[in-house]
């Protein structure tokens, strides 16, 4: 996958600074462009140490998710991307859509605060490579750089 092209396209797509609009566009764009995904969305820390469901593409999902639980919670706690090749082998995985077999969760840190996470699920075991991780992290940086946070929330 050519993530440099995707970065340029996402950058052009995000033509407001409104984080809500940009989050909606970003998850729709990723779902459209990357193959074999069944769920893409944002969880946002809108209460302390709690991830609240934000804009997403896919089936209705679990909400809320405390920092203490799931792959999303692990990404929020550690502030490190979680790449899980087989979610059924990850003890603490929260199954929202039983079709999900692998998962990539990128923490989104704004002004030294864990703002939220971007969660991507695939029905294919081992869907996400090292290159996918690096590429999606770069797309997240585009989203953060082109958005203004701290209002309309």
Binding site for ligand SME (CB under 6 A): 39, 61-62, 65, 70-72, 93-94, 96, 100, 103, 119, 121
Nearer to ligand SME by C-beta: 30 or 72?
72
Q: Which residue is nearest to ligand SME (CB)?
A: 70
Nearer to ligand SME by C-beta: 7 or 57?
57
Nearer to ligand SME by C-beta: 61 or 138?
61
Least distance to ligand SME, CB of residue 17, Å: 27
**DSSP characters for the chain?**
--HHHHHHHHHHH--S-BHHHHHHHHHHHHHHHSSS-SEEEEEEEEETTEEEEEEEESS-----EETTSHHHHHHHHH-S-EEES-GGGSTT---SSTT--EEEEEEEEETTEEEEEEEEEESSTT---HHHHHHHHHHHHHHHHT-B-SS--
Least distance to ligand SME, CB of residue 84, Å: 8
Nearer to ligand SME by C-beta: 5 or 79?
79
């Amino acid at each position: 996958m050519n993530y440099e092209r995707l970065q340029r396209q996402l950058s052009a797509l995000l033509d407001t600074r409104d984080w809500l609009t940009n989050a909606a566009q970003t998850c729709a764009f990723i779902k459209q462009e990357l193959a074999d995904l069944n769920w893409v969305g944002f969880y946002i820390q809108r209460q302390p140490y709690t991830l609240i469901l934000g804009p997403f593409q896919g089936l209705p999902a679990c909400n809320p998710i405390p920092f203490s639980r799931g792959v999303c919670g692990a990404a929020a706690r550690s502030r490190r991307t979680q790449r899980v090749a087989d979610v059924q082998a990850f003890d603490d995985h929260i199954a929202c859509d039983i079709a999900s077999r692998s998962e990539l969760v990128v923490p989104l840190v704004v002004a030294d605060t864990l703002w939220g996470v971007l969660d991507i699920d695939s029905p294919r075991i081992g869907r996400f490579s090292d290159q996918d991780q690096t590429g999606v992290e770069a797309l997240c940086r585009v989203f953060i750089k082109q958005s203004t946070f701290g209002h309309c929330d």
